[in-house]
């Protein structure tokens, strides 16, 4: 079998990143004095006019090609939990509390048996988190989407005290790195996963021995929401930096929460990589570094805390977190070690 990587599965992350770098200046040219921070945070920070104390934080995201699995299996009602959790994590890692969410749904057609569970799922997910579903758009777009498919985008706005913004600048060498388990792939790497699992390796109903569940069950578990552990760590005054592990994996996301003078040393053996990732790696003959660059590999959130408070932080977060590494002097990179 030829080794597969993300580029061969149809996604060229490097080319996209190159284009986005060229665009950064044009995007920055729209920033007045109200924009706090630069391009590339997990969420964008904007002042509230006339309010020196607080800022708004906004993010937008989708579910990538995972949405094809929801459409194919008819589990439309889980889409909301998945996307709302993803968006909440993106602003929570900056120290913000979510206020309201809007959803954009578009598909070939949106018959009631699709639209009602879809929008209802967004409403239910928002209610569970105390977030208002403030608006949305549902667009039937015959010709844009293949029959039976749809796409979703979510937009979330939150609020944060400006002197409580968590941007990683407080992280220092010696800090401990905590990893919070993910529930699976969350919302990233599906173009590659779908290439090696359902398409070439069998159906979503296959139940490989080592997985203990069907491939569909493993792939369709919604994104975990880390709002509670993040708030607990913040309330305990123990969080120096957070990284939400999404597209680009630990390799690309942990540096977003590191000062340029620090590296993150992460011990790959510090947690059990869930079986679904082993299955993807083996069936696709995928290089291990490529796996860590595409998938979260079982860690959905990373927190940097003072080393002397490691145990206290794990307890404060409500349990479940693992010490997976440490911050060392460096240049803002991740070093994956055995």
- Among the listed residues 119, 42, 29, the one whose alpha carbon sits nearest the alpha carbon of residue 88: 42
Complex with a copy of itself: residue 117 or 300, whichever CB lies closer? 117
Question: How many residues bind a copy of itself, per CB under 8 A?
Answer: 79
Q: Is 260 exposed, middle or buried (0-12, 13-18, 19+ CB in 10 A)?
A: exposed
If binding is defined by CB under 8 A, does position 161 make contact with a copy of itself?
no
Token pair belonging to 179: 């990893």
* Residues of this chain, 14-43, that bind a copy of itself according to CB under 8 A: 15-16, 18-20, 22-23, 26-27, 29-32, 34-35, 43
Complex with a copy of itself: residue 19 or 308, whichever CB lies closer? 19
* Residues of this chain, 79-118, that bind a copy of itself according to CB under 8 A: 99-100, 102-104, 106, 109-112, 115-116
CA 169 – CA 95 distance, rounded (Å): 13
Residues 94, 192, 293: CA angle, nearest 5 degrees:
45
H helix or E strand, kind and range, residue 92: helix 79-92
- Among the listed residues 238, 239, 256, the one whose alpha carbon sits nearest the alpha carbon of residue 247: 256
Window of 150-158, 221-229, 263-271, 323-331 that interacts with a copy of itself by CB under 8 A: 150-158
Complex with a copy of itself: residue 129 or 240, whichever CB lies closer? 129
Minimum distance between the CB of residue 26 and a copy of itself, rounded to whole angstroms? 4
Interface residue with a copy of itself among 75, 77, 78, 124 (CB under 8 A) is 124
Window of 45-53, 168-176, 226-234, 325-333 that interacts with a copy of itself by CB under 8 A: 45-53
* Residues of this chain, 279-308, that bind a copy of itself according to CB under 8 A: none
What is the side-by-side order of every strand in the sheet holding 150-161?
Answer: 35-36, 44-48, 51-62, 150-161, 97-107, 132-140
Binding mask 163-202 for a copy of itself (x = CB under 8 A): ----------------------------x--x--------
Interface residue with a copy of itself among 58, 170, 211, 270 (CB under 8 A) is 58
Interface residue with a copy of itself among 3, 14, 38, 144 (CB under 8 A) is 144
Complex with a copy of itself: residue 35 or 322, whichever CB lies closer? 35
**What letter would DSSP give residue 213?**
S
Token pair belonging to 170: 């407080």
SS3 (DSSP) at 262: strand
CA 241 – CA 32 distance, rounded (Å): 26
- Among the listed residues 185, 194, 105, the one whose alpha carbon sits nearest the alpha carbon of residue 152: 105
Complex with a copy of itself: residue 43 or 168, whichever CB lies closer? 43
Which residues on adjacent β-strands are paired with residue 241?
304
């Amino acid at each position: 079998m030829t080794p597969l990587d993300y580029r061969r599965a149809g996604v060229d992350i490097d080319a996209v990143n190159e284009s986005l770098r060229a665009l950064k200046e044009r995007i920055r040219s729209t920033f007045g004095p109200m924009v706090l921070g630069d391009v590339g945070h997990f969420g964008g920070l904007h002042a509230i006019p006339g309010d020196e104390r607080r800022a708004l934080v906004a993010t937008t995201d989708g579910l990538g090609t995972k949405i094809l699995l929801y459409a194919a299996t008819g589990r439309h009602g889980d889409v909301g939990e998945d996307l709302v959790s993803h968006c909440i994590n993106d602003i929570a890692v900056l120290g913000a509390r979510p206020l309201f969410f809007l959803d954009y749904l578009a598909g070939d057609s949106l018959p009631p048996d699709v639209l009602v569970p879809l929008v209802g799922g967004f409403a239910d997910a928002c209610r569970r988190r105390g977030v208002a579903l403030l608006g949305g758009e549902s667009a039937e777009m015959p010709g844009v989407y293949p029959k039976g498919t749809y796409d979703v985008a979510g937009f979330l706005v939150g609020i944060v005290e400006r002197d409580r913004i968590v941007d990683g600048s407080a992280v220092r060498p010696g800090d401990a790195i905590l990893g919070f388990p993910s529930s699976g792939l969350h919302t990233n790497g599906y173009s590659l996963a779908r290439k090696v699992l359902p398409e070439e390796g069998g159906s979503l109903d296959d139940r490989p021995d080592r997985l203990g569940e069907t491939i569909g069950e493993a792939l369709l578990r919604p994104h975990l929401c880390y709002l509670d552990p993040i708030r607990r760590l913040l309330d305990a005054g123990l969080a120096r930096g957070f990284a939400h592990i999404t597209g680009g994996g630990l390799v690309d996301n942990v540096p977003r929460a590191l000062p340029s003078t620090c590296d993150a040393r992460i011990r790959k053996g510090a947690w059990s990589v869930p079986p679904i990732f082993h299955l993807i790696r083996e069936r696709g003959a995928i290089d291990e570094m490529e796996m860590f660059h595409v998938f979260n590999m079982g860690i959905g959130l990373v927190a940097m805390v003072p080393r002397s408070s490691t145990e206290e932080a794990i307890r404060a977060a409500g349990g479940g977190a693992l010490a997976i590494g440490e911050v060392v002097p460096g240049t803002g990179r991740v070093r994956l070690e055995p």
